[in-house]
Amino acid sequence: MTAEAAPFTLDETAARRLDADDPLRGFRERFAFPLRPDGTPPIYFVGNSLGLMPLDARKAVEQELDAWATLGVEAHWKAATPWVSYHEVFRESGARLVGAVPGEVVMMNSLTVNLHLMLATFYQPTDGRVAIAMEANAFPSDTYAVQSHLRQRGQDPARHLKVIAPRAGEVTLRSEDILAWLEQHGKTIALLLLPGVNYYSGQLFDLGAIAKEARRQGCVVGYDLAHAAGNAVLRLHDWDVDFAAWCSYKYLNSGPGAVAGCFIHERHGKNPSLPRFAGWWGNDPETRFLMHLNEQFIPRSGADGWQISNPPILAMAPLKASLGIFDEAGMDRLRSKSVALTGYLEYLLTQLPGDRVEILTPSDPGQRGCQLSLRVAQGSEAMFDRITAAGVLCDYRHPDVIRVAPVPLYNTFHEVWRFVRILDGLLMASL
């Protein structure tokens, strides 16, 4: 299914036909939907904030609770999925998710904690390279993390946090401007930290081209993939990215505050001399349980060597259930549907009369994931409240943006059609 092949028209029959032809339509039945007071599900277009619960997640958690109840501490070795090596079940599925090779991905901690761990290793300022570069309007937690590491190394964030900004009057960054900025300033940049998808605008960056140019300039390249993992096809290993981190509670549907992911390129994973914050679970498993007899930290090869503590089993179980679904669906197929689904949303919005809705997200499908960021002429915040009351769950970001994200795993073309009809009615009523 592609956007070019999709027969986009305004009538409801077209939406129904698109759903009938969708090879992924059955996955919707594998998720739990919240219910409105009348017992019907809302249109859930907020998977970019918290993904729906896979029905298998309950069984996965209960399995570990049963193991705890019946085996106690011996579940570390005797559970169906032994706890002592539980994180290793993501070795291949996590790698497939982001285009890595097995051993480059570990699921651990939360996103910002993982960014701190990566900055501790990969931000190594020198006399000629001190600055960290980010995009304007970065997610605030990333900015706070970077500022704190600059201060820890005795640098001034006001001087050494460099921001790549859009052109005057524009919301999104042009790829050619990012590359030109790196060509001009890259020789002074120690580390580049960009998102895969900007949380506010929904813009998907050309991560491969950016990584290539940044590394040509001698910069370390790191990506925050909070809005890209499970939303875009990624090729982190082939792009020669140094590190990346992402949360799993958005498009990866692993539950509130779920265990995050971390990618470290194998050339770094094979280097035990890299500085890092050490903890016992990053130790070589052959010596990990020697405890006090093991006086020196010997990191395990690969991303596992950046682990600090033993994995939280009850929190990892939903992730195991979710990534099983991603493996079944396949990121290429999900991306194909997403391009069509969001393209259909864009088409219907552009057919609304007047200039009442502005789409901030790039129109090029290659420069966006599933999210469209909207401004509404009559006032986005008030309109957001009306949309919510009408049975649509999306979200609002200050000062004036409504984020709408039809997710290919569980959203439908008919829901997109219904949403635009609801929005049209509310816009007409507010005139």
What are 248-258's pLDDT values in tens digits? 999 999 999 99
What are 384-409's pLDDT values in tens digits? 999 999 999 999 999 999 999 999 99
What are 132-191's pLDDT values in tens digits? 999 999 999 999 999 999 999 999 999 999 999 999 999 999 999 999 999 999 999 999
What are 238-290's pLDDT values in tens digits? 999 999 999 999 999 999 999 999 999 999 999 999 999 999 999 988 888 88
Fold of the domain spanning 62-327: Aspartate Aminotransferase; domain 2 (3.40.640)
Buried-state track 262-290, b at ≥16 Cβ within 10 A, e below 16: bbbbbebbeeeebebebeebbbbeeebee
Which residues of 265-371 form beta strands (DSSP E)?
357-359
Mean pLDDT of 44-73: 98
Q: Where in the chain is the domain with CATH 3.90.1150.10?
A: 12-32+330-429
What gap in Å lies between CA 235 and CA 237, rounded to an integer? 6
Amino acid at 133: A
CATH classification of 12-32+330-429, choosing from 3.40.50.261, 3.50.50.60, 3.90.420.10, 3.90.1150.10?
3.90.1150.10
Residue 431, pLDDT above cutoff 80: no
Handedness of CA 299, 303, 308, 314 (dihedral sign): negative
For the chain, what is the mean pLDDT? 95
Q: Where in the chain is the domain with CATH 3.40.640.10?
A: 62-327
Q: What are phi and psi of 87, to 5 degrees?
A: -65, -20
